[in-house]
Amino acid sequence: MKKKRVWIIISAIVVFFFLSLMLRFMMGSVSLGEKVAVIDVGGIISKSDAYIKQIHVYRDDPSVKAIVLRINTPGGSVAPVQEIYRELTKLEKPIVASMGSTAASGGYYIACASDAIFANPGTLTGSIGVIMQFTKMKGLYEKVGLEQQVIKSGQFKDSGSIFRDLSDEEIAILQETVDDVYNQFVDAVSESRQDRLTRDEITNLADGRIFSGKQAHTHKLVDKLGNLQDAIVHAGELGNIEGTPRIVRKQRKSSLLEQILGIKQNSYFDDIINLPGVTFRYELSFGN
């Protein structure tokens, strides 16, 4: 009798396992055959590690024949954006960018690593440029009687201090650095759009202005107007996948804090916590 009961329990576990596996197949979390991988790039980009890890997973998966970047970001810090872009350019698989509601500044920079860029007509994109911001609190500290004593190794070591104004010489130095980082952005766009736009044409568009997806298409900053599904179909074609491509897409689990606050901790919230005093940013900036 005990043996029979044990076998019933084992059989139930096996059945449950196979039913769970079948459900996962039906839900699309596990796919067989040739696939298109979708990588979600969202929120303010302050780190690159998670994105690069995902890129490497799909790079090493022989069943993944093409990658779609689902971009919904206003951009972020320069270095992480460049790190993501560089890893994408190393891939030997077709890449298609699909712009969501916003794919501006650093979001557009990342899209430039793709073989084709799709945007919705109402997507906000462009904002090609660099922004450096400082918080000035000199007046506030003077009102409350706070002073700062500074001992520094060089004339410009405390450039950007909240306790004092920038000198003309400091502004010139920082502007030179901003211009250098800006030219790096233009270089990436020029390499991506070299068969569509000249560098002079790109420079004329790269003054920080934003474009709708439709305007960007007119200016040849994006290749096609279409949604995510259109981008997936195109990626499947570039990857020589016959028929409707299977899709693999990592679903990120939200932490309890994120669920309570309704935000992504690794984007805006985390960015505020870890924001250094001075940053270069490829970012769409409203009201700052």
pLDDT confidence bin for 141, thresholds 50/70/90: confident
Give catalytic status of residue 105 as yes or no. Answer: yes
> Minimum mean pLDDT among 20-29, 128-137, 189-198: which range?
20-29
Q: Is the pLDDT of residue 265 over 90?
A: no
pLDDT confidence bin for 134, thresholds 50/70/90: confident
| Cα separation values, 73 from 132, 134, 172, 210, Å | 18, 22, 30, 13
Domains of the chain: 34-283 (3.90.226.10)
Show the CA angle centred on residue 238, arms to residues 282 and 26, nearest 5°. 90
Find the DSSP H helices in the chain.
2-27, 49-59, 78-90, 106-111, 138-144, 168-192, 199-205, 213-218, 228-238, 256-261, 270-273
- Of the residues 31, 46, 48, 105, only one is catalytic, namely 105
Residue-wise pLDDT tens digits, 224-256: 999 999 999 999 999 999 988 899 998 766 555
Q: Nearest-CA neighbor of 66 among 102, 103, 30, 39?
A: 39
| Mean pLDDT (whole number) for 256-284 | 53
Residue-wise pLDDT tens digits, 188-197: 999 999 999 9
Q: How far apart are CA 96 and CA 190, in angstroms?
A: 18
Residue located via tokens 């901003």:
178
CB 36, CB 241: distance < 8 Å? yes
CB 221, CB 193: distance < 8 Å? yes
| Mean pLDDT (whole number) for 179-189 | 98
pLDDT confidence bin for 203, thresholds 50/70/90: very high
- Of the residues 53, 90, 157, 255, only one is catalytic, namely 157
Helix (H), strand (E) counts: the chain = 11, 11
pLDDT confidence bin for 284, thresholds 50/70/90: low
Q: Is the pLDDT of residue 39 over 60?
A: yes
| Mean pLDDT (whole number) for 121-127 | 97
Q: Is the pLDDT of residue 21 over 70?
A: no
pLDDT of residue 178: 96
Give catalytic status of residue 114 as yes or no. Answer: no
